[in-house]
Amino acid sequence: MDLLLQYLANGIVTGSTYVLVAVGLTLIFGILGVVNFAHGEFYMIGGYAGILAINVMHLAVLPAILLVLAVAACVGLGAEVILHRPMKNRDATSSIVSSFGLAVALQNAALIVMGPQPQRLNLDASKMPLLSDLPTEIGPVFLPHQRMLIPLTTVVLIAALYVVLRYTWTGRSLRAMAQHATVARLCGVHVERVALVTFATGAALAGIAGMLMSSVFLVYPIVGNMIALKAFTVVILGGMGNVAGAAGAGILLGVIESLTSAYISNSMRDIVGFVIVIGVLLLRPNGLFGKAVERS
């Protein structure tokens, strides 16, 4: 029983990063209709930006997080210019190939610049104000500050995203675009700006996930491959374009993976998510909570 609680906690930690990556992915798909296969590379770049900020520049945790947010958001803006702007008037499948190409280019550029060896981010979360007061043992569950930081940051960022989407004009225009792009444009929504904001937000969330995870696991040039696949799994389970669904499904996937590696086999850990997603797509081709497409 005590072990089960520990596995659940570990699952929630990894699940939180899936949520951060998947929410960005689902926003970009829901609002712009772009299927971004380069989303895992935002995570990878976030990890390396974190290493730059903390291992090299020796910044404190909060300024480092801000720096990573800024770097990842800039990468997101660049990705919008490459993936979305020239493809606007084409069918959605064009972005599949070009974002796949961007992912391949970024991964291999990272391989040449950073080298193939995995690197660790030396983040010492136990010295952070506020966080250091929290106990690392909650009942039978042991959770170091590094790991604790991940779900806490996720909650803060997703709550902030929710407030922005719900109560600001930018958020309203984002939601308007998601509901009906043409009508939103007619009502005066600045489409170019919405596209930039969406990509920057998605990339920033994934970048933070990459930074936080690199202090627990390691970052390496092709780390984004697996993360992007996990994020797609989550997005499909949660319904393409559904932010709340992605948040729920992300935690769920993290917990399922943690329990699989604990009770079945560690080598099944990465496969179980794909098996679930192929199964779900076979039974419900539009995802677990997806809406049926209109027939032509």
Partner 1 sequence: MKKYIAALASVALLATAPLGLGGYEISVLLMILFYVILALGLDLVTGYCGQFSFATGAFYGIGAYTAAIMNRDLGTSIWLHLPAGAIVAGSFGLMLGIPALRLTGHFLAIVTIAFQTIMYLAISQWTSFTGGQVGLSLRGTDPLRIFGIELFELGTLKSYYWMTLAVTASCVLIAWRLVNSRLGREWIAIRDDETLASAVGLNTTFGKLTAFVAYAALAGIAGVLTAHSLRGVTPDDFTIWISATVVAMMVLGGRGTFVGPIIGAILLALLPEFLGRYAEYKMVIYGVVLVVGMTFVPEGLVGRFRRSTAR
Minimum CB separation of residue 62 from partner 1 in Å reads 34
How many residues are given for the chain?
A: 296
Among 42, 199, 232, 289, binds partner 1 (CB under 8 A): 232
Describe the crossing of helices 191-214 and 39-51 by its angle, rounded to 10 degrees: 50
Among 9, 54, 103, 178, binds partner 1 (CB under 8 A): 103
The b-or-e profile of 120-142 (16+ CB within 10 A means b, else e) is ebebebeebeeeeeeeeeeeeee
Residue 225 makes contact with partner 1 by CB under 8 A: yes
Closest CA to 12 of 215, 270, 250: 250
Element (H, E) at 141: strand 141-142
Q: Which stretch binds partner 1 (CB under 8 A): 2-10, 51-59, 123-131, 269-277?
A: 269-277
* Residues binding partner 1: number (CB under 8 A): 46
Residue 37 makes contact with partner 1 by CB under 8 A: yes
Among 12, 13, 106, 211, binds partner 1 (CB under 8 A): 106
Cα–Cα distance between 194 and 281 in angstroms, integer? Answer: 30
Residue 117 makes contact with partner 1 by CB under 8 A: no
Residue 81 makes contact with partner 1 by CB under 8 A: no
Given the complex with partner 1, which of 5 and 111 has the nearer CB atom?
111
Among 52, 152, 191, 229, binds partner 1 (CB under 8 A): 229
Cα–Cα distance between 270 and 257 in angstroms, integer? Answer: 7
Minimum CB separation of residue 253 from partner 1 in Å reads 13
Describe the crossing of helices 145-167 and 191-214 by its angle, rounded to 10 degrees: 170
Residue 170 makes contact with partner 1 by CB under 8 A: no
Residue 285 makes contact with partner 1 by CB under 8 A: yes
For the beta carbon of residue 241, count every other beta carbon within 10 angstroms: 21
Given the complex with partner 1, which of 96 and 134 has the nearer CB atom?
96
Residue 264 makes contact with partner 1 by CB under 8 A: no
Classify 21 as helix, strand or coil: helix
β pairing state of 141-142 and 137-138: antiparallel
Give the binding site for partner 1 (CB under 8 A). Answer: 29, 35, 37, 82-83, 86-87, 90, 92-94, 96-98, 100-109, 111-112, 225-226, 229, 232-233, 236, 240, 267, 270-271, 274, 277-278, 281-282, 285-287, 295-296
